[in-house]
Amino acid sequence: MPTFFEEYLKRMQIRHEEIYKAVEGLPSAALDWMPAPDTNSMSVLIFHLTGAERYWIGDIAAQDPSDRDRDAEFKVHDVGADVLKKRLDDNLAYARKALAKFTLQDLEAPRVVPRDGSKTTVADALLHALEHMTLHLGHIQITRQLWEQNAGR
């Protein structure tokens, strides 16, 4: 596998480990807690970011449809940390398999975003997945901080 893809997977794994750490030891109530109206719980954020990862890496970059139900990602509740960790682990395993098929030349290959028909490239789709996941990692970390302050910890 080219070094670029190895490094990509390494960054993805590090971010996933940061997510594990952010939810470690939390009760289900914390995972479902929303810090304010119209915000998302940590469970929702993890379901959403894993759905988006799979979409951008699989559906778009690898052209491997997942039949993602984006709306369902925002209705998740009452799932344990083990379920969340499994989703992250499954995504990383999928990404390893998908990226193993790419060459550096493939990064320039054109792609179409199914949901809106816009044009992109494999490189942009992969970067979008990593960027989006990192954004939501920050949301998860802040939500944990707020939970701990709210719980008087």
What CATH number is associated with residue 50? Answer: 1.20.120.450
CA angle, 69 then 126 then 56, to 5°: 10
Instruction: Tell me the percentage of the chain whose pLDDT exceeds 70.
Output: 99
The beta-strand segments (E) located in 42-147 are 110-112, 119-121
Give the number of domains in the chain: 1
Looking at residue 84, what is its pLDDT? 96
Task: Count CB-CB contacts under 10 A for residue 22.
Answer: 20
pLDDT digits over 107-137, tens only?
Answer: 999 999 998 999 999 999 999 999 999 999 9
Q: How confident is the model at residue 151 (pLDDT cuts 50, 70, 90)?
A: confident
Residues 146, 124: Cα–Cα separation, whole Å: 33
pLDDT digits over 40-84, tens only?
Answer: 999 999 999 999 999 999 999 999 999 999 999 999 999 999 999
Q: How far apart are the first and last CA of the chain?
A: 45
3-state SS, residue 102: coil
Q: Looking at per-residue confidence, does 93 or 150 come out higher? A: 93
Looking at residue 12, what is its pLDDT? 98
Rounded to two decimals, what is the model's pTM? Answer: 0.95
CA angle, 147 then 44 then 128, to 5°: 110
Mean residue pLDDT across the chain: 96
3-state SS, residue 119: strand
Q: Which domain holds residue 7?
A: 3-150
What is the residue type of 91?
A: N
Looking at residue 112, what is its pLDDT? 96
Q: In this model, does residue 153 exceed pLDDT 70?
A: no
